[in-house]
Structure formats: C-alpha cells, structure tokens
Amino acid sequence: MGYWVRLCLSVLYFSLISPSSAIVDADNDDYEVPIPSTLDGPFKPVTVPLDRTFRGNAMDMPHTDPLLQTTAQGFQPQQISLSLSSSHNSVSISWITGEFQIGDNVEPLDPNSVASVVRYGRFRRSMSHRATGYSLVYSQLYPFEGLQNYTSGIIHHVRLTGLRPNTLYQYECGDPSLSAMSDVHYFRTMPVSGPKSYPNRIAVVGDLGLTYNTTSTVDHITSNHPDLILLVGDVTYANLYLTNGTGADCYSCAFSDTPIHETYQPRWDYWGRYMQPLISSVPIMVIEGDHDIEPQAENQTFVAYSSRFAFPSEESGSSSTLYYSFKAGGIHFIMLGSYTSYDKSGDQYKWLGRDLASVDREVTPWLVATWHAPWYSTYKAHYREAECMRVEMEDLLYEYGVDIVFNGHVNAYERSNRVYNYTLDPCGPVYITVGDGGNREKMATTHADEPGECPEPSTTPDDFLGGFCAFNFTSGPAAGNFCWDRQPDYSAFRESSFGHGILEVKNETHALWIWHRNQDFYESAGDEIYIVRQPQNCPPFKPAT
C-alpha cells in the first residue's frame, strides 16, 4: 500500500474515532496500533534498555565544516532567525551583519553604521510593508591576561506588527541603502488565540549544541514540518571551549585550573549560520540553560543569549529575558528561568503569579510551562538539583492547572505520569524531559534508583544559585531515603537516546505527544501518548482574574 493511500486511510480513520483511541501504524499495513492516553494511566514505569551499539556521534562540528560558513559578504545579513511576540499579530526578525572579532584587542563595530530594515508582505504579493528596529553589539570580556576577548557582529532585531493570523508572509531584511539585503524568506503567523485554534506541530528540543548528532536532530525536526520550535535551554555549548578554541566534553575535567569559566563565542556564530535555513522560516522560542550563563568581566552573565534572540519579555510584563510568556493559538506558554531568582519574594515569582492570573482558559485552554532544569527526573545526572525551585513554585503551577511541563538539562528522555509533590495526582502536570538534542556531553545513561548510584545529597544543589532543599523523602515508597530503590511511580517512560518531540494539540482537551529517536526513521515514534485535559474534574484552583 502506497504512502498517500495510507495517509488518506489514516485521515478517514481519524474522522471516525475519538483522538485517544488508535492510529494507523505508518510502518505496518496490517493492523492499527492503539495510542494510550493519560486517562489510561497512571502507567507502570517503563525503562527502555540502553542500546550500547548506538551512543550517537556526539562530536562537535569543526569550524571548517561548510555548514558553519557564511556566504554573506560585506554587510549582507547572516544568522537570520524568527521569533514570536506575545500574540499572533506580531513576530520579530533577527540577524547579524559584519563579522565577529576575537583576540587580545578587539574594536566593537558601530551598531548605528547599518540600518535594521525588514520589507515584508503577504505571500505572492508585493513586499510593500516596511519595519525598522534596533541594533546592538555585545562583547565577552575577561579580566585575566592571556584570555582572548570577543566582540560580535552587529545584531539586529525588528518587530513586525499588525499581521494577520495563520497567514503566509514573505520578507527580506538588511540595509537597502547599502544594497545589503537578504534573500527572500517566508514564515506563517500563529493562529488567533481561541479554544479551537492551534498550530499544527510544535517541535520541542533541549540541549542542542552543534555536533554531528545535532544535525541528525535538526534533520528530523525539519522533516516533521513544525510551525514552532521550543528550545528549552543550552543552545550552543560555547562554554565547553577555552577562548583559544580548545574544547572538551567536560570543561571542569579538562580545564580545572582556569581562573574563570571561559567560552569560545564564535560557536554562537557557527550555530546561527547552521540553524538559519530552519529558523529563518520557523519561529524559535528559547529559554536559558546553565551552559548559557557564560560569566565574564564585571559579573555579567547570559550576554550572548540575551543579545542574539528577541524575547517578548516587555509585552508579557516581564523585566527580564530569562522569563516571559507568549501565546500560540489556544496555548499559553510560560517560559521560566532556572538560573535567576525564583524565591517567592523575587521578581520572577511575582511575575509568574500575575501572568498565571491573567490567563483566560476559555480562550487559551492549554497551559504549558518550560524551564531548563527538571523537577521530576530519575537520572543520576542532576538528580533533584532543582529542588529549591520546585519547593518555591510547584504549588503555584498546580493551583493554576498547568497541563504540561517541558525541561532539558538531563541528556536523555523521560515522561512522567501526572504528578504533584512526588505523588501521583490526576490533576498534576505531565513532566517531559527532552535534554537529548545531541550536545557533545553525550547521553545520560545511569539512573539514581539503580543499586549504588544514588548521589550524595550534598552534591545535588545547583551551583549557580546555591541553596539546599533536597532532603530524604518523609513519606511514600521511598520514605527515609534520598532515592527510590526502583523506578519511581511518577516516572512513566525513560530512555537514553538522542531525539526531539512533537506536540500536536488537537482540541481543547486532547494533545498528541510524540518523541522521535534520532536513529529511527523520520516517521517512527519512540514514545507517544495523548495528553488529555479534564477541566470538569481538574479546573484551575485559582481562576483567572
């Protein structure tokens, strides 16, 4: 049976069944494979055995790779990317002109020397609209002799407004006065916010980096034709390099005597060049990870992350690029910062309360939260590291009825049962860890519940924010212990493999989640489930105001 025949039969079949019943197996013509839903849970924990024949080619791409080069000349735009604003009628276009500099003495380019202009219009119509924005240059400076400083090219951000929902646009960016405009690129706006209005596919990936396994992940994402990409922290891993370009899989192991944690900032430029074919047309929304901290002189952090992407922080009432929110159809996304204060007395927590209180679940039924360091992960790596953040914020997310949480940080895949305070709860979120994008640190393979693998509690606090909140469990099956002695009940499925996920929200109550392994064929699913909301049984305990 041919592909298109199978596809047509699948569409016909789906028109006759409820979303949580079954799906036609694209790889087998003889039977239908049922897809479970969260209504069938909680599920017995499953661990897929480690495939030791496939660890992934997690080796960084060298700067000489043609995919990391640019064909831009002079002040022609390069590293073009697209991001969403807080609503469907606005997007931001970002790009870089001019070349970076790295060495002992660097002279920043003048950001006012090149204009920030986008010409745009609806597809197959003239690009008669024009928008202007702003530009900046950032530096990564080190107060130690012998370290090479860096200054970026000119980074441009232009926000387009007044766009129509779910509409294909074309655009070119650059400075027309210098005859330095880009090729024509295309993007589709998000659908209008509403309970029956959703993007078709949202790709979710974390800890991406720039390895040959990254290329496999990005190829898989591209083949799934997403409308939006969520990158849940750890973008380039430039901080696995010294300023002279020497890199290692483990910075602290190889460079333990450096006076400051160095970075090799050109890796950000290589990443932007490599990703341009995808993210110049598909909007990417990013939240910071620990590898994006990048400390430098005067205690500055997150400078590259905050400079290179456009964030709807101001539009969503946030004063920081490290946390913000936005809408995509009937989904309200909350992007939280694991590496900025999350105390109840702090700005982020107060902003989160205001943002959650503003969500109208009649308009945006789905509430999805993301941050980098997971609260519910059973891998030894980073086990209970973000416990202080969970203690501060979990009650608030639960009270407002968050449906799904996406995290990275742990370089593996894991999906939870619905859980709250380490206890199975039919109204708790489903937590999904997708820190398996392909970075050079390689995969996490050891679980904290395996004999002899439970980490010492003193090793678990987050180094950046400090604080210690991860104590022994006081109740439940693990009472009196720091780790479970078996895969915890809240862990439904875990597997060590590189990949990415696709979220397809079908309606107000059903969303299909599919996780794809890199080593599988593009259409194959490593894990899939319908996540089902039950607003009649689990309404937000704190309604919007």
Bridge partners of 511, per DSSP, are 505, 531
Position with higher pLDDT, 511 vs 3: 511
pLDDT band of residue 464 (cuts 50, 70, 90) is: confident
Q: Which domain holds residue 46?
A: 38-72+198-532
Does 483 map to a domain?
yes
Mean pLDDT of 308-316: 97
pLDDT at residue 483 tops 50: yes
pLDDT band of residue 398 (cuts 50, 70, 90) is: very high
Does 117 map to a domain?
no
Does 146 map to a domain?
no
pLDDT band of residue 545 (cuts 50, 70, 90) is: low
Q: Please count the structural domains in the chain.
A: 1
Closest C-alpha to 369, from 260, 440, 450, 285: 285
Helix (H) or strand (E) holding 423: strand 423-424
Does 158 map to a domain?
no
Mean pLDDT of 81-96: 95
- Residue 254's SS3 state is helix
Instruction: Judge whether 176 and 118 are in contact, CB under 8 Å.
Output: no
- Residue 246's SS3 state is coil
Predicted local confidence at residue 10, as pLDDT: 35
CA atoms in the 13 A half-sphere facing the CB of 221:
33
Q: Give the C-alpha separation, 358 to 237, whole Å.
A: 35
Does 5 map to a domain?
no
pLDDT at residue 7 tops 80: no
Positions annotated as catalytic residues are: 382
CATH code, domain carrying 49: 3.60.21.10
Q: Token pair of 376, please?
A: 């519910």
Predicted local confidence at residue 12, as pLDDT: 32
pLDDT band of residue 359 (cuts 50, 70, 90) is: very high
Does 65 map to a domain?
yes
Q: What is the pLDDT of residues 213-272, one digit of tens each?
A: 999 999 999 999 999 999 999 999 999 999 999 999 999 999 999 999 999 999 999 999
Does the predicted model carry a pTM greater than 0.85? Answer: yes
Q: What is the mean pLDDT of the chain?
A: 92
pLDDT at residue 17 tops 60: no
What percent of the chain clears pLDDT 90, i.e. is strictly above it? 86
Residue 42: is the preceding peptide bond cis (ω within 30°)?
yes
Does 486 map to a domain?
yes
Mean pLDDT of 504-515: 98
Does 316 map to a domain?
yes
